[in-house]
Amino acid sequence: DVQLVESGGGLVQPGESLSLSCTAVGFTSKNCDIEWYRQVTGMQREWVSSIRRSGTIYHADSVKGRFTISRDKARDTVYLQMNNLKPEDTAMYSCKTAGPYCSNRYLDLWGQGTQVTVS
């Protein structure tokens, strides 16, 4: 079984924090870039953050300064630390594999998503 599995979502009040996890199951993601996206039902999916194989990180302007992506290669897990959450951050958050060094067999895999609600 080859999967990405997200966890850590929940219901929080504005200004509070959550940490999301994206774990590779059935393969190693160490050669893959990992990207976080979010989507509200009925709206276009939005890119949030990426971490490259090299460790270089990127964040969307809408979350820059509040969210931080990081990686624990030993645990085959990528994290998204989300601070100072706002109601507009409410969405289903999903991770996916990407990048030129990610084997085609494991490229463009999506997790099932974890819901974040800020109210």
- Return the structure tokens found at 109: 């895999």
pLDDT (0 to 100) of residue 3: 97
* pLDDT lower than 70: segments of the chain: none
Residues 20 and 93: beta-carbon distance below 8 Å: yes
Instruction: Check residue 117 and give left, alpha or beta (phi > 0: left; psi -120 to 50: alpha).
Output: beta
Q: Position 72: which residue type?
A: D
Give the span between the Cα atoms of 35 and 108, in whole angstroms: 10
Quick one: which of 55, 110, 60, 50 has its CA closest to 89?
A: 60
Tell me, what's the pLDDT at 94? 98
Q: What's the pLDDT at 17?
A: 98
pLDDT for 47 equals 98
Tokens coding 116:
């974040």
pLDDT reported for residue 57: 98
